[in-house]
Amino acid sequence: MTEPTALTVAIIPARGGSKGVPGKNLRRVGGVPLVERAVRAASAASGVDLVVVSTDDAAISAVAEGAGARVIARPAELAGDTASSESALLHALDVLESEGARVGTIVFVQATSPFIPSEGIAEAVDQIVSGRFDSVFSAYETYGFLWRRNAEGRAAAINHDAARRPRRQDREPHYLETGAFYAFDAVGFRRFQHRFFGQVGIVEVPESSAVEIDDEQQLALAEALAAASAAPQNFGEVRHRGADATRASEILHISEVLPEPITASVLVTDFDGVHTDDTATVDSEGRESVRVSREDGMGVSRLRRAGIPMLILSTEQNPVVARRAEKLQVPVLHGIDDKASALAAWAAEHGIRLADIAYVGNDVNDLGALGIVGWPIAVANAHPQVKAAARVVLSRRGGEGAVREVIERMLPH
């Protein structure tokens, strides 16, 4: 029998728990969840045969599968704060090999690094497969002067003589490990059970790829960098006056740029605070009534005629939700506490990819659902955490045409 070809497998450990940044692996940078960014980077790297995400979290699993990764369920004992990344890698390796896979090279990719260069991963794979090194890691070149505090709290030079300050061109470069990715021979990893062994090499990457997210400030920095790098591409379609579109004087000001189309093929919305203004009136019999927008009703009618599926997903178990859904001729799931799980199950039942869904929410109970879809959307008056998790923040408030705004941006023009 022919021995199976040795595979190069990228493994991304991504547990659900995180103290520094809650739900960290699903937080978005540039509108894309961190775990999905890691899957995309690994999948695009030449030489990688399979991308695996090891996780204990259902929402992370759904996003990873939607991005094209194989998911391996991570046991609870390997998903706590004290569990090492190596333990997750070894478990994933055990699972793959128990299924008959022959793994030759492992690429350990960290989802907390949002700017992983695919070409760097490809170079790392080549260094291992060619036999030049047994393990490699990503790092960037630095000529910085490093210091530490000694036992008395005084500054002590580490990589230089403090009495002599040579010019940059006269100094030896050092390499700072980024933590973004590592690659190593699978057999050697099993033997030594850690990521640095044998002949160790360095894969040089840009300093910009060294951003690593461990707190909210670093997340904000990453989001700012993503926005800055994407700004020239995010202006949408610019309309022109006259026939000569090449003259700058003929181009409308940037404030007149069309809003970004929402390319989702399915729309799911919360009810209170999205279809309504998040207020209710209660009569003496305890019956509630809410305020909705007729404009939204017209939008839903247009969406239905276009053949685009829609669902209302609500925490409230209230007859008014069912009556409004019935009038709109839209299916509804209400009385739902875990919206992410309910949405993932509904999508699986109907053969819909989570990446193709736009979800519109307004409050913190929508965060789980927002974290697993391709188009997380917040109404204009949404909770700050919802806005932070959104790929799109609407210009309209809930109950004031927000649903219509989403639909107009989803419909072909």
Cβ atoms of residues 51 and 69 within 8 Å: yes
CA 59 remoteness from chain centre: 11
Q: So what's the pLDDT on residue 249?
A: 35
Q: So what's the pLDDT on residue 21?
A: 75
Q: Which residues contact 75 (CB under 8 A, 6 or more apart)?
A: 56, 91
Q: Domains in the chain, ordered, with CATH?
A: 7-147+155-228 (3.90.550.10), 266-410 (3.40.50.1000)
Q: What is the pTM of this model?
A: 0.66
Q: So what's the pLDDT on residue 210?
A: 84
**In Å, what is the CA distance from 336 to each residue of 316, 324, 332?**
7, 17, 10
- The backbone torsions φ and ψ at residue 227, rounded to the nearest 5 degrees and listed phi first, read -65, -40
CA–CA separation, 23 and 17 (whole Å): 7
CA–CA separation, 3 and 100 (whole Å): 10
Tokens of 102: 């022959």
**Owner of token pair 């960014």:** 37
Cβ atoms of residues 16 and 75 within 8 Å: no
**Owner of token pair 């299924």:** 99
Using CA atoms of 38, 93, 189, 3 in order, give the dihedral in degrees to the nearest 10: -110
DSSP letters along 309-342, please?
Answer: -EEEEES---HHHHHHHHHHT--EEES-S-HHHH
Cβ atoms of residues 45 and 128 within 8 Å: no
Q: So what's the pLDDT on residue 413?
A: 63
CA–CA separation, 372 and 368 (whole Å): 7
**Owner of token pair 């993932």:** 344
How crowded is residue 275: how many other Cβ atoms within 10 Å of its Cβ? 29
Cβ atoms of residues 90 and 103 within 8 Å: no
Q: So what's the pLDDT on residue 251?
A: 32
Cβ atoms of residues 24 and 213 within 8 Å: yes
From the list 332, 393, 386, the residue with the least C-alpha distance to 362 is 386
Q: What angle do CA 198, 204, 210 make, to 5 degrees?
A: 110
**In Å, what is the CA distance from 98 to each residue of 4, 93, 370?**
13, 8, 35
Cβ atoms of residues 138 and 223 within 8 Å: no
Per DSSP (E only), the strands in 190-275 are: 200-204, 266-269
DSSP state for residue 239 in the 8-state scheme: P
Q: So what's the pLDDT on residue 181?
A: 97
Find the length of the chain: 413
Q: Which residues contact 30 (CB under 8 A, 6 or more apart)?
A: 37, 114, 223, 226, 227, 230
Walking along the chain (413 residues) 10 residues at a time, the average pLDDT comes out as: 79 84 82 90 96 92 90 88 88 95 96 94 97 96 88 89 78 87 96 94 90 84 74 36 36 42 93 90 77 91 94 87 91 91 93 93 92 92 88 91 94 77
DSSP state for residue 65 in the 8-state scheme: H
